[in-house]
Amino acid sequence: MSVFERVVRRGLFRIGRGDAEAAHEWTLRRLSALSERPVALAALRGRYAVAAPRTVFGVRFPNPVGLAAGMDKDGVALPAWPALGFGFVEVGTVTAHPQPGNPRPRLFRLPDSEAVINRMGFNNAGAAALAARLAALSRPLGVPLGISLGKSKVTALDDAVEDYRASYRALRGHGDYFAVNVSSPNTPGLRALQDREHLDALLATLVGEKPVLVKIAPDLTEPAIAELLEVCLARGAAGVIATNTTLSRDGLAPADRGRAGEAGGLSGRPLADRARQVVAFVHAETGGRLPIIGVGGIVDPDGAARMFDAGASLVQLYTGFIYRGPALPRAVARAAAGAALPASTG
Ligand SMILES: Cc1cc2nc3c(=O)[nH]c(=O)nc-3n(C[C@H](O)[C@H](O)[C@H](O)COP(=O)(O)O)c2cc1C
């Protein structure tokens, strides 16, 4: 392991000792500082970047391994992610109104399970601030940028469409694709937007110039997913991101069960099987017509391979990156470089 990997991993590992969120912020600050140093970025790129290009929903990805939403919500460390080997980056979730999120503590580490419980509640600086930051980037990112949109807490569910539309308007010039996040468990009522009527109205408004993907919860039943997919296909969604965090607490190691009562969404290794099942279901149900970004519990190249086998065209990492460190995206991308493409990449 290089010195750099040790430093980043040490920062990531401080999560759980003391304030997990403080550790996350420390890491982001370091990566943000790194983003200002072109020479260091180039050195990292030389070490970590992997070419395994594929085109999905009309967008060309240098490799199929992305950073999942929520890690860099406000896009403060953007140039660092491709330098670490990520083939795309999803920023956000952002909301039309800036908001502080839930009170701390709201992020909990479950190390024996390689899992995290979070109830962040879409803390973010708002869509306009992200648009300004993206406009000020001094050079192109070099990898596709996804932007995840959510509903502001102050906005009533009935006004959700207008809220998403406001964010989309502010940001549409900046994203290569947009993710409609209707699956976070941490904004009251948000998941109701996965229902046919709400989702139909949302997609009718947003689908147009840029690819729009729908991010779904792993806790939906198969009939509910099937209904959602009908809406996605009818409204021309570009794909599905499966999955967000789960409300289930299955699969925790004994030492972590004391944390199981924390409210919020569980991510990481215990989510892997369920996330993969959802990907397989979406793939089968749509006959491969809707490209899938598979996310949930990928902690090593084998886990990613299983996600691709289930029908994912691209994958994303979050919790695995916290526990396994910055060598993970490269390892996964290298393994993917040799893998066959699923039928739905066109
Ligand atoms: C601390 C934290 C914050 C997250 N924030 C978001 C978010 O803002 N938007 C979103 O769509 N997903 C968010 N997620 C979910 C991840 O993008 C991902 O779907 C989930 O964690 C499963 O992947 P993983 O097991 O690799 O972490 C968050 C996850 C974590 C752990």
Q: Where is pLDDT greater, at 186 or 167?
A: 167
Residue partners of 10: CB distance under 8 A and separation at least 6: none
Look at residue 80 and tell me whether its pLDDT is greater than 90.
yes
* pLDDT value at 201 more than 50: yes
> Selecting from 3.30.70.260, 3.20.20.70, 3.40.50.410, 3.40.50.2300, what CATH number does the domain 3-337 have?
3.20.20.70
Task: Burial-class residue 175 by CB neighbours within 10 Å (0-12, 13-18, 19+).
Answer: buried
Residue ranges lining ligand 1, Cβ < 6 Å: 68-70, 73, 92-93, 107, 116, 118, 120, 122, 148, 181, 184, 215, 244-245, 267-268, 271, 295-298, 317-320
Is 73 annotated to bind a ligand? Reply is yes
pLDDT tens digits along 204-256: 999 999 999 999 999 999 998 999 999 999 999 999 999 999 999 999 999 99
Give the burial string for 52-70 (b: 16+ CB within 10 Å, else e): bebebbebebbbbbbbbbb
Which numbered atom of ligand 1 lies nearest the CA of 245?
20
> Residues 120-124: what's their mean pLDDT?
95
Q: Quote the pLDDT of residue 183.
A: 85
Q: Looking at per-residue confidence, does 15 or 223 come out higher?
A: 223
Specify the residue with its C-alpha closest to ligand 1, atom 14: 70
Please give the mean pLDDT across all residues of the chain.
92
Residues catalogued as catalytic: 184
The runs of H, that is alpha helices, within the chain are: 3-13, 20-34, 38-48, 80-83, 127-135, 160-171, 196-206, 222-235, 272-286, 301-310, 319-324, 328-337
Phi, psi of 66 (to 5 degrees): -110, 165
Find the angle CA(100)-CA(106)-CA(109) to the nearest 5 degrees.
145
Contacts of 170 (CB under 8 A, 6+ apart): 96, 127, 128, 130, 131
Peptide bond into 55 cis (omega under 30): no
Tell me the pLDDT band of 197, cut-offs 50, 70 and 90. Answer: confident
Q: Whose CA is nearest to atom 29 of ligand 1?
A: 70
For residue 17, the model assigns a pLDDT of 54
Q: How confident is the model at residue 336 (pLDDT cuts 50, 70, 90)?
A: confident
- Atom of ligand 1 at shortest distance to CA of 115? 25
In 3D space, the residue among 184, 185, 177 whose CA is nearest the CA of residue 91 turns out to be 177
pLDDT interval class at 344 (50, 70, 90): very low
pLDDT at 327 over 70: yes
Q: Which of 335, 229, 323 is nearest to 283 (CA)?
A: 229
Predicted confidence (pLDDT) at residue 16 exceeds the cutoff of 50: no
pLDDT (mean) for 130-137:
95
Share of the chain above pLDDT 70, in %: 93
The model's pTM is 0.94
Q: Among 27, 149, 160, 164, which residue's Cα sits nearest to residue 90?
A: 149
Q: With contact defined as beta carbons under 8 Å apart, do 244 and 184 qualify?
A: yes
Query: How many angstroms separate the alpha carbon of residue 135 from the centre of ligand 1?
Result: 25
| Cα–Cα distance for residue pair 150/93, rounded to 1 Å | 6
Q: What is the largest CA-CA distance in the chain?
A: 52
Q: Which of 116, 245, 246, when mutated, tests ligand 1's pocket best, judged by the most ligand atoms within 8 Å of its CB?
A: 245
Mean pLDDT of the region 172-201: 87
Q: How confident is the model at residue 188 (pLDDT cuts 50, 70, 90)?
A: confident
Q: How far apart are CA 66 and CA 36, in angstroms?
A: 21
